[in-house]
Structure 1
């Protein structure tokens, strides 16, 4: 039987369609990404060896993740740390150290002059991108002052397909960020408030409960989309004020909460290397004020540490809800999940109650990454916040559109003992550049009387109690060269 041209054409078309269908089935589906940012979260979790902290959801997540035990941020302040993470670059100017870094470098610039965030790279390569809550500096992703109504100016134009936030009874993102259970906020109360609160309310009584619910709703919607998604969810706690429902306070016996291991100025350090806890002290109704010339009472120190831990347990529960929904929607098997703290926080350590220093207490934070096919492991090597962007781009199969300062962590996640890993992290603030290695932290401060160095032995003195710079520094020329390698010239301009 002779085939007509029409029959032959149909047979060829069927063959080609089946071939392409088989090929399409063999192409792996690109993974989704769930990125959870937590404000002021130092490694105060059970998964990081803090057995007194009640964090069951984060601890369970850690058991299936790569847990970076030595992750350090580039800048110990919210907006600048987040900006550096999003663009994958070290600070290059004093403006990059400001909470307004993203506003000044992205939002206020014409499109042709803006650095791209790694989320924008994902978006331009087929990802649907959604932000909820505090992912850059401003709590809802829009640019306006604390006491102003919400504006329509996005902090990260070009990054999001959707930028969402539920401000609830607080009205605006900024009000919610500093909010109390009765709907009041620090700004509206003219700072006549305490730095903590334990209200007998459910999880929705504070803003992070609303953020979790919004994340849950959005996951069910994103499941129906054909393209991969990037969902960023930013939680406020444990940022000041340390507010959480009473049931999370009740998880702890205050008298059993450990105090700071070293509540004094490090020997040989300058007071200028620390801060006077201004952010903490502005809560006018706090029972005691902190200062570098005295320690607060043990009773009050435990009260504030209790408040911080309650806030951590509260946000742990909210994160657990979002992770449970990811499983419920059947999305976990193809979703990369990152949990990241934007910096640490001194809880009375070095007489400081706050961030804004170049000590480990302020620079070390939580970083955990879970891949669908990954197994839980602990990684002790030193990593930096700028390593997050290249890591997620590689896992997503997207090439960065700009040169990044970080390195992908993918190989390190596969082999935690990778010999070729850089094993250093650079940080910048308070007129100083700092480098962290597995053995030392070396910081150079640019002061009016000339450069001053501080050197801490991380093996024998992990709490950084004794500055050993001086003769010992001269015996470590490679370390000084390593510090200079990370000098981006910020304080020399």
Structure 2
């Protein structure tokens, strides 16, 4: 499938043509850390970059956490893993049936692999969702329901098993570039140690002209960052791809693949892109792909009938008052909604192009036939549905996200599956595909069978978690049931929601009171499977 050719000549590397080097060198600033016991000498390139006087002010690109390990001879070459995580990406992709979206690289990957139509994240917020995916576990405590979920994990010897740690223990070279955990560079803000302990050989993020990874996460093209309440929610800048951080992340991934092709051990490379997270900033090339006046608005822009929105919805605080651009705070006019949607679409196309660069590098380095590729969105995002701009709900718009997997020699490539899968299932699926030991003590289960038989049924239901243990949701092939309680008394629900996705796929009417025969068994299943509810009931 051919991709469009961008208008700017310096952007020919996006989807076609020869990959170009840019004057921005993604390796220009970084910090190197080695274990105190290491006797590994610094490469000349690293030694020249680090001066004692500059350590405090240098910009982090990559933290090397351990010297290379000796890789034993294998009787059979093991598959590599390329895990691509995309922030705030809902299934707003052409291959998911959203016509008019310019996403040729994701479309091509889906045509060569498997598209999962019903993949559900565990928690509708970045940190907790990624923590569940990487550990294969549901939230087991209140602290695991929010963006501080990684802080609750062990940080030293005896750390809980995680996806990259298991691969690392099995002899894989594990690298994290960009936002894979919650912090954009993968490092705790307080200790500057990895959020996921004992997992990575290398972890970091290129920051370019921005002072820190967190500044780069909210980047504007002039090198500035978000100032809450004073900077705009969108930016259309006449710049190249590398003038925003995702272009630098793609650069770093491309260079890392060139390096990894010559190593003897298999690799687990995780690449995390920032967009389409707010602010919706992208090069003008990608804004030009859409006619703002032709962009349609959400058809379900009101809270569902039969619910108390003060319990289950919010005031879109991700958007307002954190960003400017609304004439009236808290009110989004149709014109403003089109502008916001336009920015989101442009960001999706921009990140699609960066993913295309990484996938093309995989092919150019002869690694495609020995690498499993995963593209995963960490949760969905309301673009005006139910009057919400953001995530942080237990509705379909926030919990359903894209998942595309391509394996070498996949059967029935291009066939989608409707089987239900959860993010916690990705960990055991990848270990099965790579013939590694199944992780112990996890909640997920492998869906590898759906990669050989897309017509399989998948799971009977997926679970959603939110509000520090006050809210939980269960999604079956037909229904979604959501249970809300107070923090003091989780045994007593204060709101039950039930939606019939065969008759009401946009979740506009709560029918719980009309169908107790559906509510009762779903509630029982939810209370049986959710760890916090099990403990509350003594189960």
- Structure 2 length as normaliser, TM-score? 0.82
Counterpart in the other structure of 2:496: 453
Query: SS where residue 174 of structure 1 aligns?
Result: helix
**Residue 424 of structure 1 corresponds to which residue in structure 2?**
461
Aligned counterparts, 1:63-74, within 5 A: 63-74=111-122
Change (3 A) 1:475 1:240: closer
Per the TM alignment, residue 481 of structure 1 is displaced from its structure 2 partner at its CA by: 2.6
Indicate yes or no: 2:79 matched with 1:41. Answer: no
1:247 pairs, out of 263, 278, 285, with 285
The answer on 1:363 being equivalent to 2:363 is no
Query: Within 1, Cα distance between the matches of 2:439 and 2:371?
Result: 23
The two structures, once aligned, show a CA RMSD in angstroms of: 1.7
- Which of 95, 107, 114 aligns to 1:59? It is 107
Query: d(CA) in 2 for partners of 1:331 and 1:389?
Result: 22
Q: What is the rounded CA distance, in whole Å, between the counterparts of 1:222 and 1:38 in structure 2?
A: 22
Alpha-carbon distance in structure 1 between the residues aligned to 2:323 and 2:87: 22
Residue 115 of structure 1 is matched in structure 2 by 160
| Shift in alpha-carbon separation, 1:354–1:288, aligned structure 2, 3 A | farther
Superposition pairs of residues 259-408 of structure 1, within 5 angstroms:
259-271=297-309, 272-288=311-327, 291=330, 296-374=332-410, 375-408=413-446
Secondary structure in 1 aligned to 2:272? strand
Aligned to 1:94: 142
Shift of 1:290: 6.3
Instruction: Give the distance between the partners of 1:226 and 1:257, measured in 2 at CA.
Output: 49
Cα distance, 1:492 vs. partner? 6.8
**d(CA) in 1 for partners of 2:249, 2:474:** 35
Q: Does 1:130 align with 2:175?
A: yes
Answer whether contact 2:481 2:519 (CA < 8 A) is retained: no
Contact 1:106 1:155 in 2 (8 A): no
State the alpha-carbon separation in 2 of the partners of residues 217 and 418 from structure 1: 38
Contact 2:512 2:519 in 1 (8 A): no
Distance 2:533 2:144 in 1: 9
Structure with bigger helix share is 1
Measured after TM superposition, the shift of residue 355 of structure 1 is: 0.3
* Alpha-carbon displacement from aligned partner over 1:247-271 (angstroms, at most 9, x marks no partner): 1001000011110121001000111
- Compute the displacement of 1:427 (Å): 0.5
State whether residues 88 and 387 of structure 1, in contact with CA within 8 Å, keep that contact through their aligned partners in structure 2.
yes
2:203 is paired with a residue of what secondary structure? strand
Query: How far did 1:118 drift?
Result: 1.3
Q: CA deviation at 1:386?
A: 0.5
Task: Verify: 1:181 aligned to 2:221, yes or no.
Answer: yes
Aligned partner of 2:523 in structure 1 is 480
Larger relative contact order (Cα-Cα within 8 Å, sequence gap ≥ 6):
1
Residues 304 and 507 of structure 2 are in contact (CA less than 8 Å); yes or no, is this contact kept in structure 1? yes
Does the CA-based 8 Å contact 1:455-1:468 persist in structure 2? yes
- Name the CA distance, whole Å, in 2 between partners of 1:369 and 1:436: 22
Shift, 1:285, TM fit? 2.0
Query: Is 2:211 aligned against 1:163?
Result: no
Q: Are 2:321 and 2:329, in contact at CA under 8 Å, matched by a contact in 1?
A: no
CA-CA distance at 1:488 after TM superposition: 1.5
Q: Distance in 2 between matches of 1:338 and 1:313?
A: 18
In structure 1, how many angstroms separate the alpha carbons of the residues matched to 2:273 and 2:290? Answer: 22
**Secondary structure in 1 aligned to 2:154?**
helix
Instruction: Give unpaired runs (5+ residues) of structure 2.
Output: 1-72
User: Retained in 2: the 8 A contact 1:52–1:257?
Assistant: no
Highest CA radius of gyration, 1 or 2? 1
Secondary structure of the 2:512 match is coil
Query: What is the distance in 2 between the residues matched to 1:475 and 1:394?
Result: 35
Indicate the residue corresponding to 1:470 in structure 2: 513
Distance 2:397 2:231 in 1: 26
**Residue 490 (structure 1) shift:** 5.5
Most deviating of 155-164 and 362-371? 155-164
Change (3 A) 1:488 1:327: same
In structure 1, runs of 5+ residues without a counterpart are 1-23, 146-150
Residues 170-209 of structure 1 correspond to what in structure 2 (within 5 A)? 170-186=210-226, 189-209=227-247
1:15 maps to which residue?
Answer: none
In the superposition, relative to structure 1, how do residues 273 and 464 fare at CA in structure 2: closer, same or farther (>3 Å)? same
Structure 1 runs (4+) deviating above 6 angstroms are none
User: What secondary structure sits across from 1:168 in the alignment?
Assistant: coil
* CA distance in 1 between partners of 2:358 and 2:329 (Å): 36
Shift of 1:424: 1.2
TM-score, structure 1 length as denominator? 0.89
| Counterpart Cα distance in 1 of 2:450 and 2:264 | 31
Query: For 1:79, which of 112, 120, 127 is the aligned residue?
Result: 127
283 and 397 in structure 1: CA distance in 2 versus 1, 3 angstrom threshold = same
Aligned partners of 2:351, 2:149: CA distance in 1, in Å?
Answer: 26
1:21 equivalent in structure 2: none
CA contact (8 A) 1:181 1:205 kept: yes
Aligned to 2:482: 443
Relative to structure 1, the CA distance from residue 289 to residue 312 in structure 2 (aligned partners, 3 Å threshold; closer, same or farther) is farther
1:283-329 per-position Cα deviation (integer Å, ceiling 9, x unaligned) = 342224564xxx52111100000000000000000000000000000
Q: Aligned partners of 1:161 and 1:85: how far apart in 2?
A: 20
Separation in structure 2 between the aligned mates of residue 469 and residue 411 of structure 1, nearest angstrom: 34
- Any conservation in 2 of the 1:276–1:290 contact (CA below 8 Å)? no
Mean CA deviation greater in 408-417 or 196-205? 408-417
